Structure 1
Amino acid sequence: MNVYKVHNAHSNLLQTYVKELTLASKQGPILDLACGSGRNGLYLARLGLPVIFADQDKEKLQTIERIIKEEKLTSTTWLVDLESGDDHLIDNQYGAIIVFRYLHRPLFNSLKRSVKPSGVVIYETFNEAQRKFGRPQNPDFLLQENELIDTFSHWHILHQFEGEVGDPTCSISQVVAQRNGR
């Protein structure tokens, strides 16, 4: 099943797994990692879920802060350079982490440790087959075949997809995984 939405709307993965995200948010906030414009996290925040918007782009976070204030959302922003080499993520802090269109492999282990037991990760970004459609081209920003499944192999996989989607066409990998334990 391909659960995907293009352009400025939030990902359909969030709608499909909103029950799991709602349960996970009772354990801790949802981290929208490398949130960009915040389209995915804002969808969840508007449902009343606590979201932390994390990004290194101060201007985008300021725009999100204005929306949070105007709409009285239970959310905060976090200005952070996730690629600085420092491990900014704290173990067992988040009920869920969502990541869309961002890949920095050194974060994988701390990302997994940062989710509380029974928490959820939703991860979607471009894979190597994207090269035939355009950017990105750099292998540092493209998942290898089955890389997300391998990364979360000890978790309960709720959803997995690799393939071509959208108009214009792009090639992505998706995983929705729940951390084992209570």
Structure 2
Amino acid sequence: MSHSPLLEKTVKLLHEANMQAPVLDLACGSGRNGLYLLNQNIPVVFADIKESALEQVESTVNCHNGEEKSTASFWQVDFEQDSFEQEELKPLAGKSFSAIIVFRYLHRPLFEQIKQAVIPGGYVVYETFTVEQPQFGRPKNPNFLLNHGELAKLFSDWDIIYSFEGVIDAKNADANNESGKQAIAQIIARKPLL
């Protein structure tokens, strides 16, 4: 599975920003999106709850000789801890990233942490399914589906560089999705400078 085309719009922005902090690939799974950034000479922290997923990504990184090894790091973390009420249970507290990328993952209690962990002038790149998705396949649980306009509203206080909400033809569609269509929302947003 290849990286999301949304990242191609982001690489130039990240290079132009010339930021010192790495990019966080939150809930990275197979790492396809973070690996794309790594290949564009952008430092990435791959984060996921599954140790096996992180080991697979690390193995992929190690197969490529070169500078990528030194600019990749791995973080096993549970982003869905029961309570974010206590500061020490907030996984992103006290962390700083030049950008946070999130693909095909939604845990609403994390949004405020994500916004706080991006440095001023940094970016959020987010893409996941909307409430229209069940007609095409999984996921069907409303907890994992964005409402209409939800993503744009969440980042309305940021500079929205790109926003899309609708149905796309997905090349790598889920095997249970015979139509090849997916209902998604996407955003690239820049955090205002202080």
RMSD (CA atoms) = 1.3
Runs of 4+ residues deviating >4 angstroms: none
The answer on whether the counterparts of 1:25 and 1:96 sit within 8 Å (CA) in structure 2 is: no
In 2, distance between residues paired with 1:45 and 1:115?
Answer: 18
Partner of residue 186 from structure 2, selected from 170, 174, 179: 174
For residues 73-119 of structure 1, what are the alpha-carbon distances to aligned partners after superposition, in whole Å with 9 as ceiling and x for unaligned? 11011100100132110346000000000000000001000000000
Offset at residue 125 of structure 1 (A): 0.1
Mean alpha-carbon deviation: is it higher for 64-73 or for 53-62? 64-73
Residues 94-173 of structure 1 mapped to structure 2, 5 A cutoff: 94-167=97-170, 168-173=180-185
Aligned residue type for 1:44:
L
Judging changes above 3 Å, is the alpha-carbon distance between structure 1 residues 92 and 157 closer, same or farther for their aligned structure 2 residues? farther
The answer to whether structure 1 residue 78 and structure 2 residue 75 are counterparts is: yes
Aligned residue type for 2:73:
T
In 2, distance between residues paired with 1:68 and 1:23?
Answer: 24
Gaps of 5+ in 2: 84-88, 171-179
Q: So what's the TM-score if we normalise by structure 1?
A: 0.92
Offset at residue 69 of structure 1 (A): 2.1
SS in 2 for 1:128: coil
For residues 7-49 of structure 1, what are the alpha-carbon distances to aligned partners after superposition, in whole Å with 9 as ceiling and x for unaligned? x110111112211122446231000000000000000001111
The total of aligned residue pairs comes to: 175
The answer to whether structure 1 residue 9 and structure 2 residue 12 are counterparts is: no
Mean alpha-carbon deviation: is it higher for 130-139 or for 69-78? 69-78
The answer on whether the counterparts of 2:11 and 2:40 sit within 8 Å (CA) in structure 1 is: no
Mean alpha-carbon deviation: is it higher for 12-21 or for 50-59? 12-21
Partner of 1:53: 46
SS in 2 for 1:113: helix
Aligned residue type for 1:79:
Q
Q: So what's the TM-score if we normalise by structure 2?
A: 0.86
In 2, distance between residues paired with 1:60 and 1:137?
Answer: 24
Aligned residues with identical type, % of pairs = 46
The answer on whether the counterparts of 1:27 and 1:116 sit within 8 Å (CA) in structure 2 is: no
Specify the structure having the higher radius of gyration (Cα).
Answer: 2
Aligned residue type for 2:2:
A
The answer to whether structure 1 residue 69 and structure 2 residue 66 are counterparts is: no
SS in 2 for 1:10: coil
The answer on whether the counterparts of 1:102 and 1:141 sit within 8 Å (CA) in structure 2 is: yes
The answer on whether the counterparts of 1:25 and 1:95 sit within 8 Å (CA) in structure 2 is: no
Judging changes above 3 Å, is the alpha-carbon distance between structure 1 residues 25 and 58 closer, same or farther for their aligned structure 2 residues? farther
